[in-house]
């Protein structure tokens, strides 16, 4: 158990819909990262927050957004969903910005 909690574990929805994925980092970790894992793209970095502030953006679509709340949990919002958004979405956390990242079990998103 990494100490990073992601909910829900599975999400099935339709094209055009909007979903919210939730992540609770390990106790004491200030940095939260979101990654997407798909068969064709592999593991790709989406976005990072540190103590409530956005610090870096990767290959994140404009339809996707995220935030980190004062209690340090984070949410990833995906809107206008397309079939190609089907993937495993991981959250990771670390104590500082250049420290080992610990991953949650992921949320598997299936778009029908």
Partner 1 sequence: GEDVEQSLFLSVREGDSSVINCTYTDSSSTYLYWYKQEPGAGLQLLTYIFSNMDMKQDQRLTVLLNKKDKHLSLRIADTQTGDSAIYFCAESPYSGAGSYQLTFGKGTKLSVIP
Per CB under 8 A, contacts with partner 1 among 51-90 are 55-56, 58, 90
- Tell me how far, at minimum, the Cβ of 46 lies from partner 1, in Å: 9
How many Å apart are CA 28 and CA 104, to the nearest integer?
A: 15
Closest alpha carbon to 32 in 60, 55, 9: 55
Indicate the residue among 2 and 80 with the shorter CB distance to partner 1. Answer: 2
Report the half-sphere exposure of 25 (CA within 13 A, side-chain side). Answer: 28
Residues lying near partner 1 in the complex (CB under 8 A)? 2, 33, 35, 42-43, 45, 48, 50, 55-56, 58, 90, 92, 97-98, 100-106
């Amino acid at each position: 158990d990494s100490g990073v909690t992601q909910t829900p574990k599975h999400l099935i929805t339709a094209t055009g819909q909007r979903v919210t994925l939730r992540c609770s980092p390990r106790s004491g970790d200030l940095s939260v990262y979101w990654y997407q894992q798909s068969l064709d793209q592999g593991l790709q970095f989406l976005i990072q927050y540190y103590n409530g502030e956005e610090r870096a953006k990767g290959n994140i679509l404009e339809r996707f957004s995220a935030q980190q709340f004062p209690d340090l949990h984070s949410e990833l919002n995906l809107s206008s969903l397309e079939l190609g958004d089907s993937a495993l979405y991981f959250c990771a956390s670390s104590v500082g910005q250049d420290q080992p990242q610990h991953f949650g079990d992921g949320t598997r998103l299936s778009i029908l």
